[in-house]
Structure 1
């Protein structure tokens, strides 16, 4: 690919450490600039990255030393930073969700296309061996024709461990927008796009209590639904159910199960890159673990950005903006359905990204 692709990072909070673990020193990319609302944090991060400069956002977006912007800001800032980067002629890879409203997400995809730049969107966990091995099993006919799937995520809430959890309970947060992208993106990789949804939602309590760090004991308001359930109608006729909750304690359910005519597949947690896929077949004697057969081995956050760089306009990125937009519309449609009490048809679709061969 010639010289390393130059990346500038906006937002150096908790999740940035995971991305830096993958990208720091990778031969395909070089981090040239970092920016954060806290200038001291930007300076400290730049000191860990040879050749990187701590700058303000305006300088990073306008800099000739940045080819792609990695947008790791809080969800409410995703659209603003991404659109500014697009207008500056930069490619963008953004943390999930693509935006907090569907119109913002659609504007991102449309303006990127008009500007001739690429947009990618997390999660990229689905490019690891966990989801990809499960996809290979489905594509290989091990469950027969897929009929249905279930996805379940239940926790008591991130305020128990995150020292600054406010954004989890404002627009763009909640269990659906925070964790739903992992499960929805995996379901689309496994079963294809969604054509319509029916949703229901609730909110257990109006406040949460910070459980760690300097703000321990502080109460924060809850402005979003904290338990969301839904039914997804996939374009090929399969039906999925999804539950995302910050109101429960735990669950014994598999993160994702896919049911077919001849077998059921237990899929590992799509919040992780790896994990075991287990299969039970009609007439079989029990569950068996499938050998790892697809996906990036030992991958970490940032793999989707590396895939976007490798695509280089020759193919759509596997964690691309159109898929991110379809996931965003699915989430907003679930909440709209819950609040309006009706089935909602989607206006977008997305191709299943190309599978990832087993890649050391």
Structure 2
């Protein structure tokens, strides 16, 4: 007789609303499958609809609750849990051998499922052997990037996930100055210098909102028409997006990661109706089409960014309709609840 399937989710720091898509994905897993049990390597204190246990309780709860399947996100956590995060070529960035549950997986014949999105130990120089090991050891692998799907043909394509019920389409202000938002955690690949050079060339018809830990870079801004917000929680971010017209992303890649396209922050802003002006270093057209859904700019090209922003200003407010149209498309493709349902149907 086949045993009843029951899922456990393991995360690192959780529940943590600033973890982005991981928070909302787990939120909808709890909603869709209330019998799911959640664990964290580092339990946090943000609101969440289910109890979250320390990973130290894992074996006891596997026995008492009849857990059959485990789900996690990112290469570094997956290989840490499998005890496969170290090889002769080195270790996966951000992984930790002390998180291994290899013996527990084998002892209780558990099935492991994972999502491999950009970051989380998956960088441009990650040896493909680490990806291959993940494919050998996991029953299901979801991804949205070629460096995984090209190695693991059996992987399942699922776009990124955003909470489109939280980040809703709303009518934008139709007056100058145009409100631009740049939202990212500080990293070389976010290319703040290109943003700063471009903004210094703009006139009073633009106001820039900077979100993230960019305090040390503010001295490169000579144009005073900006507001530095620091780090914002999702409620604060949603309110900011509501009042902004344009989201700018200058992302490229560095030694730590190669951002997906669009980034999670960009996708959340688009869902509220923001016009996207962005690089696309991956040449990824599976979700958004350049010219139709967003304005593409070349990497490290502040002049092109300035030209694009001025073009938007000259065609404003009619051009705002492009943002509204793309927001509807994002809701169809990236809705967290729908994509969680797809994942759960495959896992269980």
TM-score, normalized by length of structure 2? 0.39
TM-score, normalized by length of structure 1? 0.38
Which structure shows the bigger proportion of residues in strand conformation?
Answer: 1
Which structure shows the bigger proportion of residues in helix conformation?
Answer: 2
Q: Of the two structures, which has the highest relative contact order with CA contacts closer than 8 Å and spacing of 6 or more?
A: 1
The structure with more radius of gyration: 2
